[in-house]
């Protein structure tokens, strides 16, 4: 359901929207193009295309590539019918989609090709529980959940980037389409923000210094 909110913050729930419909082009295990629309499938999270899995006695293997290729073999070029539920922060349409009556997200979760993404929806919760019990696909194969994999990658990159900061100057001055924004340690986007001096980005030693240079604080 969508929620439309007025300036008085009165919200009215509206029905999910039908469409888009069109031929499928698979981007990775949880993202497809449906016609000209980039769609992030609601309620699932698949390994990143370059993600490797294994460890703890399980040989390393290219789980992300395997998932992408398996999804591509099943759905590439077929016609999908989707229902829009939201738009994510990257501008992608968040939707449930079916091909010949088969819910793509449910099929992927049931066959251990994707995880139920409970942070955003519980619609495939039971499907994943059944797949886990039966050790289907990725389950029981030394697979780090994709969200944890991404978080670990962000943390590692943040540590490398932080090592370039001047001593005692850990405030990140980032430049984006939203303007010049500085991020304080502990804020939501701090770890994922990389400072690129060649683009005019910089480190600051205090908020006063950042504000004086024309940067504004991140909202969170």
Where in the sequence numbering do the catalytic residues fall?
Answer: 40, 48, 92
CA distance 149 to 117: 14
Nearest-Å Rg of the Cα atoms of the chain is 21
84 contacts 19 by C-beta, under 8 angstroms: yes
**Rounded (5°) CA angle 115-111-98:** 85
82 contacts 38 by C-beta, under 8 angstroms: no
The two tokens of residue 148 are 């944890």
CA distance 89 to 107: 25
DSSP 6: -
The two tokens of residue 166 are 């001047």
């Amino acid at each position: 359901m969508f929620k439309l909110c007025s300036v008085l913050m009165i919200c009215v729930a509206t029905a999910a929207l039908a469409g888009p419909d069109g031929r499928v082009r698979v981007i990775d295990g949880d993202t497809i193009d449906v016609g000209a629309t980039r769609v992030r499938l609601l309620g699932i999270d698949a390994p990143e295309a370059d993600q490797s899995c294994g460890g703890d006695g399980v040989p390393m293997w290219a789980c992300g590539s395997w998932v992408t290729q398996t999804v591509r073999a099943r759905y590439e070029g077929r016609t999908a019918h989707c229902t829009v539920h939201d738009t994510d922060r990257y501008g992608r349409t968040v939707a449930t989609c079916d091909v010949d009556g088969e819910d793509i997200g449910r099929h992927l979760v049931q066959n251990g090709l994707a995880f139920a993404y409970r942070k955003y929806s519980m619609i495939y919760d039971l499907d994943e529980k059944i797949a886990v019990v039966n050790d289907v696909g990725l389950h029981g194969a030394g697979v780090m959940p994709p969200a944890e994999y991404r978080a670990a990658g962000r943390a590692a990159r943040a540590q490398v980037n932080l090592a370039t900061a001047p001593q005692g100057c850990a405030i990140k001055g980032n430049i984006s389409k939203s303007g010049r924004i500085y991020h304080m340690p502990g804020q939501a986007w701090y770890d994922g923000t990389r400072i690129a001096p060649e683009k005019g980005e910089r480190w600051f030693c205090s908020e006063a210094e950042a504000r004086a240079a024309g940067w504004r604080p991140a909202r969170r």
